[in-house]
Amino acid sequence: MRRWLWLVYVAVLCTLPMRAAFAVEPAVAGGTATHGMVAQITLDGPIGPAAAEYFDDASKRAVADGAVAIVLRLDTPGGLAESMRQIIASMLSCEVPVLVYVAPGGARAASAGTYILYAGQIAAMAPATHLGAATPVQLGGDRPVPLPKASDQPAAAGSAAKDEPGAGDDAESHKVMNDAIAYIRSLAQLRGRNAQWAEQAVRGAATLTASEAAQQHVIDFVAADVADLLDKADGRKVQVRDRDVTLQLKGASVHEYAPGARTRFLAIITNPTIAYLLLLAGIFGLLLEAMHPGAMLPGIAGGICLLVGLYALQLLPVNYAGLALMALGVGLLVAEAVNPSVGAFGVGGLVSFVVGSVMLMNTGVPGYGVNLGVIAGIAVCAAGLLALIVWLVFRSRRAGPVTGDAAMQMDIGELLEPVEAGGEAWMMVRGERWRARCDTALPAGARVRVVSRQGLLLRVEPA
Protein backbone atom coordinates (compact mmCIF):
# COMPACT_ATOMS: atom_id res chain seq x y z
CA MET A 1 0.00 0.00 0.00
CA ARG A 2 2.75 2.41 0.94
CA ARG A 3 4.45 1.65 -2.38
CA TRP A 4 1.30 2.75 -4.24
CA LEU A 5 1.18 5.96 -2.20
CA TRP A 6 4.78 6.69 -3.15
CA LEU A 7 3.97 6.11 -6.84
CA VAL A 8 1.00 8.51 -6.66
CA TYR A 9 3.21 11.09 -4.93
CA VAL A 10 5.89 10.80 -7.64
CA ALA A 11 3.25 11.10 -10.39
CA VAL A 12 1.89 14.33 -8.85
CA LEU A 13 5.40 15.78 -8.70
CA CYS A 14 5.97 14.93 -12.34
CA THR A 15 2.81 16.78 -13.41
CA LEU A 16 3.81 20.02 -11.67
CA PRO A 17 6.22 21.22 -14.43
CA MET A 18 3.52 20.54 -17.01
CA ARG A 19 1.01 22.59 -15.01
CA ALA A 20 3.55 25.42 -14.75
CA ALA A 21 4.23 25.28 -18.47
CA PHE A 22 0.52 25.60 -19.25
CA ALA A 23 0.28 28.44 -16.72
CA VAL A 24 2.94 30.56 -18.46
CA GLU A 25 1.85 29.70 -22.00
CA PRO A 26 1.47 32.94 -24.00
CA ALA A 27 -1.99 34.35 -23.39
CA VAL A 28 -2.41 35.64 -26.93
CA ALA A 29 -4.19 32.81 -28.68
CA GLY A 30 -6.34 32.82 -31.77
CA GLY A 31 -5.79 36.57 -32.31
CA THR A 32 -7.33 37.56 -28.95
CA ALA A 33 -5.58 38.75 -25.79
CA THR A 34 -7.59 36.91 -23.13
CA HIS A 35 -8.14 37.78 -19.48
CA GLY A 36 -5.10 37.23 -17.34
CA MET A 37 -2.19 39.11 -15.85
CA VAL A 38 -1.11 42.54 -17.10
CA ALA A 39 2.48 43.62 -16.35
CA GLN A 40 3.17 47.20 -15.32
CA ILE A 41 6.58 48.75 -16.01
CA THR A 42 7.34 52.24 -14.74
CA LEU A 43 9.78 54.61 -16.43
CA ASP A 44 10.07 57.61 -14.14
CA GLY A 45 12.85 60.11 -14.92
CA PRO A 46 15.30 60.67 -17.77
CA ILE A 47 15.58 57.98 -20.45
CA GLY A 48 19.07 56.48 -20.34
CA PRO A 49 20.95 53.18 -20.53
CA ALA A 50 19.51 51.95 -17.22
CA ALA A 51 15.92 52.66 -18.35
CA ALA A 52 16.50 50.84 -21.66
CA GLU A 53 17.94 47.77 -19.93
CA TYR A 54 15.15 47.81 -17.34
CA PHE A 55 12.38 47.83 -19.95
CA ASP A 56 14.00 45.13 -22.06
CA ASP A 57 14.55 42.83 -19.07
CA ALA A 58 11.15 43.47 -17.47
CA SER A 59 9.22 43.02 -20.72
CA LYS A 60 10.92 39.67 -21.41
CA ARG A 61 10.17 38.50 -17.86
CA ALA A 62 6.55 39.60 -18.25
CA VAL A 63 6.12 37.65 -21.48
CA ALA A 64 7.73 34.58 -19.90
CA ASP A 65 5.35 34.88 -16.93
CA GLY A 66 2.33 34.82 -19.24
CA ALA A 67 1.36 38.50 -19.27
CA VAL A 68 -1.36 39.30 -21.83
CA ALA A 69 -0.25 42.93 -22.12
CA ILE A 70 2.25 45.42 -20.72
CA VAL A 71 1.34 48.80 -19.27
CA LEU A 72 4.28 51.17 -19.61
CA ARG A 73 3.64 53.99 -17.13
CA LEU A 74 5.65 56.96 -18.33
CA ASP A 75 6.81 60.19 -16.72
CA THR A 76 9.95 61.57 -18.33
CA PRO A 77 11.48 64.91 -19.38
CA GLY A 78 13.30 63.13 -22.20
CA GLY A 79 16.70 61.54 -22.44
CA LEU A 80 19.24 59.97 -24.75
CA ALA A 81 18.23 59.14 -28.33
CA GLU A 82 20.12 55.84 -28.36
CA SER A 83 18.37 54.59 -25.19
CA MET A 84 14.99 55.76 -26.54
CA ARG A 85 15.51 53.78 -29.74
CA GLN A 86 16.45 50.67 -27.73
CA ILE A 87 13.20 50.92 -25.77
CA ILE A 88 11.12 51.41 -28.93
CA ALA A 89 12.88 48.47 -30.63
CA SER A 90 11.97 46.28 -27.64
CA MET A 91 8.37 47.51 -27.80
CA LEU A 92 8.06 46.76 -31.52
CA SER A 93 9.51 43.27 -31.12
CA CYS A 94 7.48 42.43 -27.99
CA GLU A 95 5.11 39.46 -28.32
CA VAL A 96 2.31 41.16 -26.36
CA PRO A 97 0.69 44.61 -26.75
CA VAL A 98 2.32 47.55 -24.97
CA LEU A 99 -0.04 50.17 -23.55
CA VAL A 100 1.86 53.42 -22.96
CA TYR A 101 0.23 55.46 -20.20
CA VAL A 102 1.47 58.93 -19.18
CA ALA A 103 0.64 59.15 -15.48
CA PRO A 104 0.07 60.22 -12.75
CA GLY A 105 -1.44 63.70 -12.96
CA GLY A 106 1.29 66.27 -13.58
CA ALA A 107 3.49 63.77 -15.45
CA ARG A 108 4.85 64.41 -18.92
CA ALA A 109 6.10 62.55 -21.97
CA ALA A 110 8.47 65.17 -23.31
CA SER A 111 11.17 64.77 -25.95
CA ALA A 112 12.09 61.06 -26.04
CA GLY A 113 8.87 60.27 -24.16
CA THR A 114 6.80 61.48 -27.13
CA TYR A 115 8.46 58.95 -29.43
CA ILE A 116 7.84 56.16 -26.92
CA LEU A 117 4.19 57.19 -26.58
CA TYR A 118 3.75 57.05 -30.36
CA ALA A 119 5.30 53.55 -30.48
CA GLY A 120 2.76 51.91 -28.16
CA GLN A 121 -0.18 49.89 -29.50
CA ILE A 122 -2.34 51.96 -27.13
CA ALA A 123 -1.39 55.52 -26.18
CA ALA A 124 -3.19 57.05 -23.21
CA MET A 125 -2.67 59.90 -20.77
CA ALA A 126 -3.97 60.77 -17.34
CA PRO A 127 -5.71 64.13 -16.80
CA ALA A 128 -3.37 67.10 -16.19
CA THR A 129 -0.49 65.56 -18.14
CA HIS A 130 1.20 66.74 -21.34
CA LEU A 131 3.51 65.60 -24.14
CA GLY A 132 5.63 67.05 -26.93
CA ALA A 133 8.75 69.22 -27.29
CA ALA A 134 10.48 66.41 -29.18
CA THR A 135 13.08 68.52 -31.00
CA PRO A 136 16.44 66.65 -31.05
CA VAL A 137 19.35 68.19 -29.15
CA GLN A 138 22.96 68.18 -30.34
CA LEU A 139 25.38 66.28 -28.14
CA GLY A 140 27.71 68.88 -26.77
CA GLY A 141 25.36 71.72 -27.73
CA ASP A 142 23.10 73.91 -25.66
CA ARG A 143 20.18 74.41 -28.02
CA PRO A 144 17.91 72.37 -30.31
CA VAL A 145 19.04 71.90 -33.92
CA PRO A 146 18.08 73.60 -36.07
CA LEU A 147 16.06 76.38 -34.49
CA PRO A 148 12.53 76.37 -35.97
CA LYS A 149 11.48 79.35 -38.02
CA ALA A 150 8.17 81.09 -37.76
CA SER A 151 7.54 80.32 -41.43
CA ASP A 152 8.14 76.60 -41.01
CA GLN A 153 5.09 74.49 -41.83
CA PRO A 154 4.67 70.74 -41.41
CA ALA A 155 5.92 68.92 -44.46
CA ALA A 156 3.55 66.79 -46.46
CA ALA A 157 3.34 63.17 -45.46
CA GLY A 158 6.25 61.16 -46.76
CA SER A 159 8.24 64.22 -47.88
CA ALA A 160 11.59 65.28 -46.50
CA ALA A 161 11.88 68.35 -44.35
CA LYS A 162 12.89 71.45 -46.33
CA ASP A 163 16.38 72.75 -45.67
CA GLU A 164 16.56 76.50 -45.20
CA PRO A 165 19.72 78.44 -44.49
CA GLY A 166 20.13 80.09 -41.13
CA ALA A 167 22.56 80.74 -38.36
CA GLY A 168 23.84 77.45 -37.04
CA ASP A 169 21.92 75.40 -39.63
CA ASP A 170 24.47 73.11 -41.25
CA ALA A 171 24.29 69.79 -43.03
CA GLU A 172 24.82 67.77 -39.85
CA SER A 173 22.03 69.49 -37.94
CA HIS A 174 19.63 68.98 -40.86
CA LYS A 175 20.49 65.30 -40.96
CA VAL A 176 19.67 65.00 -37.25
CA MET A 177 16.40 66.89 -37.67
CA ASN A 178 15.23 65.01 -40.76
CA ASP A 179 16.14 61.66 -39.22
CA ALA A 180 14.09 62.49 -36.11
CA ILE A 181 11.13 63.63 -38.21
CA ALA A 182 11.20 60.49 -40.35
CA TYR A 183 11.44 58.29 -37.26
CA ILE A 184 8.43 59.76 -35.46
CA ARG A 185 6.38 59.89 -38.69
CA SER A 186 7.06 56.19 -39.25
CA LEU A 187 5.81 55.42 -35.74
CA ALA A 188 2.72 57.57 -36.29
CA GLN A 189 1.93 55.80 -39.57
CA LEU A 190 2.49 52.39 -37.97
CA ARG A 191 -0.03 53.12 -35.21
CA GLY A 192 -2.42 55.25 -37.31
CA ARG A 193 -1.90 58.46 -35.30
CA ASN A 194 -1.53 62.13 -36.19
CA ALA A 195 1.72 62.22 -38.19
CA GLN A 196 1.59 65.95 -38.97
CA TRP A 197 1.44 66.97 -35.32
CA ALA A 198 4.26 64.47 -34.59
CA GLU A 199 6.42 66.31 -37.12
CA GLN A 200 5.49 69.65 -35.57
CA ALA A 201 6.51 68.32 -32.13
CA VAL A 202 9.96 67.62 -33.57
CA ARG A 203 10.35 70.62 -35.85
CA GLY A 204 8.71 73.28 -33.66
CA ALA A 205 8.79 71.70 -30.17
CA ALA A 206 4.97 71.70 -30.08
CA THR A 207 3.21 70.44 -26.94
CA LEU A 208 -0.31 69.25 -26.10
CA THR A 209 -2.31 68.58 -22.96
CA ALA A 210 -4.01 65.22 -22.48
CA SER A 211 -7.44 66.40 -23.68
CA GLU A 212 -5.94 68.22 -26.69
CA ALA A 213 -3.91 65.14 -27.60
CA ALA A 214 -7.06 63.00 -27.58
CA GLN A 215 -8.93 65.54 -29.76
CA GLN A 216 -6.11 65.67 -32.31
CA HIS A 217 -5.80 61.87 -32.46
CA VAL A 218 -2.30 61.89 -31.00
CA ILE A 219 -3.39 59.48 -28.27
CA ASP A 220 -6.27 57.02 -28.13
CA PHE A 221 -7.99 58.30 -24.99
CA VAL A 222 -7.62 59.87 -21.54
CA ALA A 223 -7.74 57.43 -18.59
CA ALA A 224 -8.04 58.33 -14.91
CA ASP A 225 -6.00 55.35 -13.67
CA VAL A 226 -4.69 51.95 -14.75
CA ALA A 227 -8.04 50.23 -14.18
CA ASP A 228 -9.76 52.84 -16.36
CA LEU A 229 -7.00 52.35 -18.96
CA LEU A 230 -7.67 48.61 -19.13
CA ASP A 231 -11.43 49.14 -19.32
CA LYS A 232 -11.16 51.62 -22.20
CA ALA A 233 -8.58 49.51 -24.06
CA ASP A 234 -10.76 46.39 -23.75
CA GLY A 235 -12.12 45.21 -27.11
CA ARG A 236 -9.79 47.33 -29.24
CA LYS A 237 -7.97 45.67 -32.13
CA VAL A 238 -4.22 46.34 -32.27
CA GLN A 239 -1.31 45.07 -34.30
CA VAL A 240 1.32 43.02 -32.46
CA ARG A 241 4.27 42.39 -34.75
CA ASP A 242 2.69 40.76 -37.86
CA ARG A 243 -0.73 39.82 -36.45
CA ASP A 244 -3.91 41.56 -35.29
CA VAL A 245 -4.96 41.08 -31.68
CA THR A 246 -8.22 42.01 -29.97
CA LEU A 247 -7.58 43.12 -26.40
CA GLN A 248 -9.55 41.46 -23.61
CA LEU A 249 -8.26 43.33 -20.55
CA LYS A 250 -11.27 44.24 -18.45
CA GLY A 251 -10.80 42.89 -14.94
CA ALA A 252 -7.25 41.66 -15.58
CA SER A 253 -4.89 41.64 -12.60
CA VAL A 254 -1.94 44.06 -12.68
CA HIS A 255 1.52 42.95 -11.56
CA GLU A 256 4.30 45.53 -11.05
CA TYR A 257 7.73 44.60 -12.42
CA ALA A 258 10.29 46.55 -10.42
CA PRO A 259 13.85 47.03 -11.69
CA GLY A 260 16.42 44.46 -10.55
CA ALA A 261 19.58 45.10 -8.54
CA ARG A 262 21.75 45.42 -11.67
CA THR A 263 19.38 47.97 -13.20
CA ARG A 264 19.26 50.02 -10.01
CA PHE A 265 23.06 49.97 -9.78
CA LEU A 266 23.33 51.01 -13.44
CA ALA A 267 20.86 53.84 -12.85
CA ILE A 268 23.03 55.16 -10.00
CA ILE A 269 26.40 55.08 -11.76
CA THR A 270 25.06 56.45 -15.07
CA ASN A 271 23.85 59.54 -13.30
CA PRO A 272 26.28 62.08 -14.82
CA THR A 273 27.06 63.68 -11.44
CA ILE A 274 27.77 60.29 -9.82
CA ALA A 275 29.95 59.22 -12.76
CA TYR A 276 31.84 62.53 -12.48
CA LEU A 277 32.45 62.04 -8.75
CA LEU A 278 33.55 58.43 -9.28
CA LEU A 279 36.05 59.60 -11.88
CA LEU A 280 37.50 62.21 -9.52
CA ALA A 281 37.60 59.77 -6.60
CA GLY A 282 39.51 57.29 -8.75
CA ILE A 283 42.05 59.86 -9.95
CA PHE A 284 42.80 61.29 -6.52
CA GLY A 285 42.84 57.85 -4.89
CA LEU A 286 45.55 56.71 -7.29
CA LEU A 287 47.47 59.96 -6.76
CA LEU A 288 47.40 59.46 -2.98
CA GLU A 289 48.69 55.92 -3.43
CA ALA A 290 51.50 57.20 -5.67
CA MET A 291 52.53 59.83 -3.11
CA HIS A 292 52.21 57.42 -0.16
CA PRO A 293 53.26 53.98 -1.44
CA GLY A 294 52.03 51.11 0.68
CA ALA A 295 48.88 52.83 1.96
CA MET A 296 46.89 50.29 -0.13
CA LEU A 297 43.38 51.56 0.64
CA PRO A 298 43.53 54.74 -1.51
CA GLY A 299 44.96 52.78 -4.44
CA ILE A 300 42.41 49.95 -4.22
CA ALA A 301 39.41 52.25 -3.73
CA GLY A 302 40.70 54.66 -6.39
CA GLY A 303 41.17 51.89 -8.94
CA ILE A 304 37.66 50.55 -8.37
CA CYS A 305 36.10 54.02 -8.57
CA LEU A 306 38.04 54.89 -11.72
CA LEU A 307 37.01 51.69 -13.54
CA VAL A 308 33.34 52.04 -12.53
CA GLY A 309 33.40 55.72 -13.52
CA LEU A 310 34.94 54.96 -16.91
CA TYR A 311 32.33 52.21 -17.48
CA ALA A 312 29.58 54.74 -16.75
CA LEU A 313 31.16 57.36 -19.01
CA GLN A 314 31.28 55.00 -21.98
CA LEU A 315 27.50 54.62 -21.65
CA LEU A 316 26.98 58.40 -21.58
CA PRO A 317 27.44 61.11 -24.24
CA VAL A 318 30.84 62.33 -23.05
CA ASN A 319 32.69 65.27 -24.61
CA TYR A 320 36.25 63.99 -24.76
CA ALA A 321 37.70 67.50 -25.04
CA GLY A 322 36.17 68.19 -21.64
CA LEU A 323 37.62 64.95 -20.27
CA ALA A 324 41.08 65.89 -21.58
CA LEU A 325 40.84 69.35 -20.00
CA MET A 326 39.92 67.75 -16.67
CA ALA A 327 42.94 65.44 -16.84
CA LEU A 328 45.21 68.40 -17.70
CA GLY A 329 43.78 70.39 -14.81
CA VAL A 330 44.39 67.58 -12.31
CA GLY A 331 47.95 67.18 -13.62
CA LEU A 332 48.70 70.89 -13.22
CA LEU A 333 47.25 70.94 -9.69
CA VAL A 334 49.43 67.96 -8.74
CA ALA A 335 52.47 69.69 -10.27
CA GLU A 336 51.73 72.78 -8.14
CA ALA A 337 51.49 70.65 -5.01
CA VAL A 338 54.70 68.74 -5.73
CA ASN A 339 56.78 71.71 -6.95
CA PRO A 340 55.21 74.86 -5.49
CA SER A 341 55.63 77.91 -7.68
CA VAL A 342 54.02 81.33 -7.62
CA GLY A 343 50.68 79.65 -8.39
CA ALA A 344 50.86 79.60 -12.21
CA PHE A 345 50.45 75.82 -12.44
CA GLY A 346 47.69 75.83 -9.85
CA VAL A 347 45.64 78.63 -11.42
CA GLY A 348 46.00 77.09 -14.88
CA GLY A 349 45.02 73.69 -13.52
CA LEU A 350 41.98 75.08 -11.72
CA VAL A 351 40.74 76.90 -14.83
CA SER A 352 41.33 73.84 -17.01
CA PHE A 353 39.56 71.56 -14.52
CA VAL A 354 36.46 73.76 -14.18
CA VAL A 355 36.11 74.34 -17.94
CA GLY A 356 36.54 70.62 -18.63
CA SER A 357 33.96 69.72 -15.98
CA VAL A 358 31.39 72.06 -17.52
CA MET A 359 32.10 70.72 -21.02
CA LEU A 360 32.13 67.05 -19.95
CA MET A 361 28.43 66.35 -20.50
CA ASN A 362 26.92 69.64 -21.60
CA THR A 363 24.43 67.95 -23.94
CA GLY A 364 21.29 69.92 -23.25
CA VAL A 365 19.49 66.59 -22.74
CA PRO A 366 17.23 66.81 -19.66
CA GLY A 367 18.76 65.00 -16.72
CA TYR A 368 22.09 64.36 -18.46
CA GLY A 369 24.43 67.09 -17.28
CA VAL A 370 26.80 67.29 -14.32
CA ASN A 371 25.30 69.30 -11.49
CA LEU A 372 26.87 72.77 -11.61
CA GLY A 373 26.67 73.04 -7.83
CA VAL A 374 28.94 70.00 -7.50
CA ILE A 375 31.41 71.48 -9.99
CA ALA A 376 31.35 74.82 -8.14
CA GLY A 377 31.89 73.11 -4.77
CA ILE A 378 34.86 71.12 -6.03
CA ALA A 379 36.29 74.23 -7.72
CA VAL A 380 36.00 76.25 -4.51
CA CYS A 381 37.71 73.49 -2.51
CA ALA A 382 40.50 73.26 -5.10
CA ALA A 383 40.90 77.05 -5.07
CA GLY A 384 41.08 77.03 -1.26
CA LEU A 385 43.71 74.29 -1.33
CA LEU A 386 45.70 76.18 -3.95
CA ALA A 387 45.55 79.39 -1.90
CA LEU A 388 46.73 77.47 1.19
CA ILE A 389 49.70 76.01 -0.73
CA VAL A 390 50.71 79.44 -2.09
CA TRP A 391 50.39 81.02 1.39
CA LEU A 392 52.55 78.31 2.93
CA VAL A 393 55.17 78.82 0.23
CA PHE A 394 55.39 82.58 0.84
CA ARG A 395 55.39 82.10 4.62
CA SER A 396 58.26 79.63 4.36
CA ARG A 397 60.23 82.15 2.31
CA ARG A 398 59.74 84.84 4.96
CA ALA A 399 60.56 82.52 7.87
CA GLY A 400 64.06 82.41 9.31
CA PRO A 401 66.29 79.32 9.41
CA VAL A 402 65.28 76.64 11.90
CA THR A 403 68.38 74.39 11.85
CA GLY A 404 72.18 74.77 11.72
CA ASP A 405 74.45 77.55 12.98
CA ALA A 406 72.32 80.27 11.42
CA ALA A 407 69.29 79.09 13.38
CA MET A 408 71.21 78.83 16.66
CA GLN A 409 72.69 82.33 16.46
CA MET A 410 70.71 84.82 18.51
CA ASP A 411 69.00 82.03 20.48
CA ILE A 412 68.45 82.80 24.16
CA GLY A 413 69.72 80.31 26.78
CA GLU A 414 70.28 80.09 30.56
CA LEU A 415 73.53 79.56 32.47
CA LEU A 416 73.51 76.48 34.69
CA GLU A 417 76.47 77.71 36.74
CA PRO A 418 78.33 81.01 37.31
CA VAL A 419 80.99 82.04 34.80
CA GLU A 420 84.00 84.32 35.18
CA ALA A 421 85.04 86.88 32.59
CA GLY A 422 86.61 84.98 29.72
CA GLY A 423 85.78 81.67 31.43
CA GLU A 424 83.56 78.70 30.47
CA ALA A 425 80.45 77.20 32.03
CA TRP A 426 77.49 74.95 31.19
CA MET A 427 74.29 76.46 29.76
CA MET A 428 70.90 75.22 28.52
CA VAL A 429 69.64 76.26 25.08
CA ARG A 430 66.87 74.63 23.01
CA GLY A 431 66.60 71.94 25.66
CA GLU A 432 70.25 70.92 25.21
CA ARG A 433 73.33 71.33 27.46
CA TRP A 434 76.16 73.23 25.79
CA ARG A 435 79.58 74.47 26.96
CA ALA A 436 79.62 78.28 26.74
CA ARG A 437 82.34 80.97 26.94
CA CYS A 438 81.48 84.52 27.96
CA ASP A 439 83.69 87.68 28.18
CA THR A 440 81.57 88.97 31.05
CA ALA A 441 81.27 87.48 34.53
CA LEU A 442 77.65 86.25 35.10
CA PRO A 443 75.91 84.37 37.91
CA ALA A 444 74.07 81.02 37.55
CA GLY A 445 70.60 81.43 36.03
CA ALA A 446 71.59 84.46 33.97
CA ARG A 447 70.07 84.66 30.47
CA VAL A 448 72.56 84.84 27.63
CA ARG A 449 72.41 85.17 23.84
CA VAL A 450 74.35 82.87 21.50
CA VAL A 451 76.75 84.83 19.29
CA SER A 452 78.61 82.07 17.45
CA ARG A 453 79.64 78.43 17.61
CA GLN A 454 83.10 76.92 17.52
CA GLY A 455 82.77 73.14 17.44
CA LEU A 456 80.95 72.20 20.66
CA LEU A 457 81.65 75.56 22.32
CA LEU A 458 79.23 78.45 22.12
CA ARG A 459 80.27 82.08 22.49
CA VAL A 460 77.59 83.99 24.40
CA GLU A 461 76.91 87.49 25.71
CA PRO A 462 74.41 88.79 28.24
CA ALA A 463 70.89 88.86 26.85
Residues acting as catalytic residues: 111, 175
Provide DSSP, 229-245. HHHHHTT-EEEETTEEE
User: Cα(146)–Cα(169) distance, rounded to whole angstroms?
Assistant: 6
Residue 160 phi, psi (nearest 5): -80, 155
Beta strands at 69-75 and 98-102: parallel, antiparallel or unpaired: parallel
The CA-atom distances, in angstroms, between 88 and each of 81, 128, 327, 351 are 11, 25, 37, 42
**Alpha helix segments (H runs only) across 192-292:** 195-203, 210-215, 226-233, 261-269, 272-291
Q: Where are the beta strands (DSSP E) in 316-441?
A: 412-415, 424-429, 432-438
Contact present, 42 and 58 (Cβ < 8 Å): no
Instruction: Look at the alpha carbons of 365, 367, 368, 374 in this order and tell me if their dihedral is positive or negative.
Output: positive
Cβ neighbours of residue 19 closer than 8 Å, sequence gap 6 or more: none
Determine the residue type at 340.
P
